Amino acid sequence: MSKGRLEAFSDGVIAIIITIMVLELRAPHEPTFGALKPLLPVFLAYLLSFVFLSIYWNNHHHLLQATPHVSGAILWANLHLLFWLSLVPFATSWMGENPHASLPTAVYGAVLLCLAISFTILVKTILSVHGPASLLARAIGRRDTKSYVSLLLYVLAIPLAFVDPRISWLIFATVALIWIVPDRRIESRLRSN
């Protein structure tokens, strides 16, 4: 079974999700600086989600790159990931419009947690099809640490949103940074193989 359509469909869904999020950033009616100010948390929430969706697209790209072919189980694991990705605009919009509220921030964290779990399921599904000796298994190795740290941080961010939502925002930003920075190491691993 070819992986081309799986990649194309996932690209389409992620591209649309990333773009419809920006529809929440509605142009204010008045042409003043004051009218832009209440948009700041909406903009920051959009920026955060843009970075997360970029990371997922990037990781998805690397993951499929190392996958020789796809099965029905992989198709469904991928659709499961896309389902949670599709809830990001909702969570982003609710959190962005209520930046000082605990529940929307906790829900955002819960969506990120489900996303991380569904990505892990996709990785495990692919590994169970291709075996531990595959290029993917080796490339994924080091990533596991990062994945588990991220999962732990999401689990912490959800209750901490009820202490102070700003702590959770900080945790989300930290996770994003963890994933952006060392991407080049995985790449060099892929290159050296």
Residues that bind a second copy (CB under 8 A): 1-2, 5, 7-9, 11-20, 22-23, 25-29, 31-33, 36, 47, 50, 54, 57-58, 61, 65, 71-73, 75-76, 79, 82-83, 86-87, 89-90, 93-94, 97-98, 101-104, 107, 180, 183-184, 186-187, 190
- Cα angle value 149/175/148 (rounded, 5°): 15
Query: Cα–Cα distance between 96 and 28 in angstroms, integer?
Result: 15
As measured in angstroms, the least distance from the Cβ of 138 to a second copy is: 17
Question: Angle, to 10 degrees, between the axis of helix 72-86 and the axis of helix 88-97?
Answer: 20
3-class DSSP state for residue 21? Answer: helix
Of 80 and 151, which has the nearer Cβ to a second copy?
80
As measured in angstroms, the least distance from the Cβ of 181 to a second copy is: 10
Of 147 and 151, which has the nearer Cβ to a second copy?
147
What distances in angstroms separate CA 51 from CA 20, 21, 186, one per listed residue? 15, 12, 19
As measured in angstroms, the least distance from the Cβ of 15 to a second copy is: 3
- CB-based burial label for 32 (10 Å; 0-12, 13-18, 19+): exposed
- DSSP conformational letter for 2: -
Of 152 and 192, which has the nearer Cβ to a second copy?
192
As measured in angstroms, the least distance from the Cβ of 60 to a second copy is: 9
Of 82 and 127, which has the nearer Cβ to a second copy?
82
